[in-house]
Amino acid sequence: MNETIEIRLKGQGVSPGLIRSHEIAELIEAIEDFVSAEAARSSPEVRRDELVVGLYAIADASIGLKFKAGLAAVNVPAFVAAAAHVAAGNFHELSPHSLRALQKVVAFAKRHGAVAELKMADASEPLAVVTADTVIPEEPRIRGLAEIAAKTLRVGESRERCSSLQAGPSSTARSLTCVRWFPSL
C-alpha cells in the first residue's frame, strides 16, 4: 500500500521561496488535521495521537507537500474517502474538524490564486481539486430546547450557594446560571 499523500499547489507565483513560511506551516497543519480527523472518525478505536501524517518532502516548481502516513491502513483509506467527498462536493460527509482544515486550504488558494490538488504521491491524476471558487458550507448550528433535571440537595440555608453547571462537550459547553427560587406563601 502506498503510504504517501500529496497536496500540490499550483498557480502563478506559487513556489517555495515565494510563499511565507508560516503559510506553508499552516497548510502542513491543515492537511495533517484533515487526514487525522477523518481517520479518527472512521476508526474510533485508534487514538488520535497515533494517526501521524508527517511531512517528508517539499517538491520544487510548484509547491508539492508530500506526507508519510503512519498507520497507513487507517490514514490512506480515510484520505481517499475524504478526497472523494471533496471532489463530489459532499462536504456534509466530512467531520467538522476536517471542514475547518479544508477551509484553511481554500483560504490559501484564494489569497494566492492557487489550485490545490489532493492526491496520492505516485498518481498522475488528483483525487480532488480545491480552488479559490470552492465553497465550503459553514458548520450547521443546532437549535432546540433542552431539559435539565436536577435534584435538591439542601433546603433552608441562610446563605445562597450555587456552583456553575456545565452541559455538553467542553468545546460547546455553556455555563448555567443559578436562579434563586422563592415559593409563594
Region of poorest pLDDT, from 104-113, 130-139, 172-181:
172-181
Q: What is the pLDDT of residues 15-43, one digit of tens each?
A: 777 888 899 899 999 999 999 989 888 88
- The answer to whether residue 156 sits within a structural domain is no
What is the grid cell recorded at 32?
495533517
Instruction: Tell me the pLDDT band of 152, cut-offs 50, 70 and 90.
Output: low
Rounded to an integer, the average pLDDT of 167-174 is 48
**Is the pLDDT confidence value at 176 over 60?**
no
Number of domains, the chain: 1
Contact 82, 94 (CB under 8 A): yes
- The answer to whether residue 139 sits within a structural domain is no
- The answer to whether residue 160 sits within a structural domain is no
- The answer to whether residue 140 sits within a structural domain is no
Report pLDDT for 135. Answer: 87
Rounded to an integer, the average pLDDT of 127-144 is 80
Run of H or E residues at 31 = helix 21-42
Q: What is the pLDDT of residues 69-109, one digit of tens each?
A: 888 888 888 999 999 999 998 888 888 889 999 999 999 99
Kindly tell me the sign of the dihedral angle through the C-alpha atoms of 143, 149, 153, 155.
positive
- The answer to whether residue 182 sits within a structural domain is no
Contact 148, 176 (CB under 8 A): yes
Report pLDDT for 145. Answer: 74
- The answer to whether residue 176 sits within a structural domain is no
- The answer to whether residue 119 sits within a structural domain is yes
- The answer to whether residue 77 sits within a structural domain is yes
Kindly tell me the sign of the dihedral angle through the C-alpha atoms of 33, 35, 36, 38.
positive
Q: Does this model's pTM top 0.75?
A: no
CA 2, CA 160: separation in Å to the nearest integer? Answer: 64
**Is the pLDDT confidence value at 133 over 70?**
yes
Q: Identify the domain containing residue 13 by its residue range.
A: 4-130
Report pLDDT for 1. Answer: 61
